[in-house]
Amino acid sequence: MSLRRQLLELGRMELWLWPRTMRSLARVLEPDERIEQVAYGGFDEHWGLICATDRRLLCLRHNVLFGTQFRQLAYGQVRRFACQTGKVFGQLEVSHAEGQWRLAAITNAEARGLAEAIRQRRDEPR
């Protein structure tokens, strides 16, 4: 399924406002990989996108000097994750062997949706 159709089904077509990000995401997705949740917000003092797919967590981080940087994390590598919500915005922290990802300035619904996707996939039998 195309990236455009997946985002349409998730109700996230506004993400096409960042065409460079969408081109980068299309390049890193495997042909039959499906996006389950997506959030765009502050990531490591830059803007970034975190996607929970049916196989892994993907992070695309933007840097003015170095362009788009791609990171991936298998659900089995997630040691701990935490979802924090406020009145409007929330954040998600994901700890793994190499460090931690922190996505802030996302809506509470995005934070909860990503946390639930991680929980479901991490707890699946391998």
CA distance 81 to 93: 5
Q: If residue 10 lies in a helix (H) or strand (E), which one and from where to where?
A: helix 3-10
pLDDT of residue 17: 67
On whether the pTM is more than 0.75, the answer is yes
pLDDT of residue 1: 79
Q: If residue 119 lies in a helix (H) or strand (E), which one and from where to where?
A: helix 108-122
Farthest-apart Cα atoms in the chain, separation: 41
Low-confidence residues of the chain, pLDDT below 70?
17, 62-64, 126
CA distance 89 to 19: 24
Residue 12, classed as helix, strand or coil, is: coil
pLDDT of residue 52: 95
pLDDT of residue 126: 62
In one letter, which amino acid is 124? E
Q: Let me know if 32 is exposed, middle or buried by CB neighbors in 10 A (0-12, 13-18, 19+).
A: exposed
> In Å, what is the CA distance from 71 to each residue of 11, 13, 14, 48, 89?
24, 23, 23, 11, 24
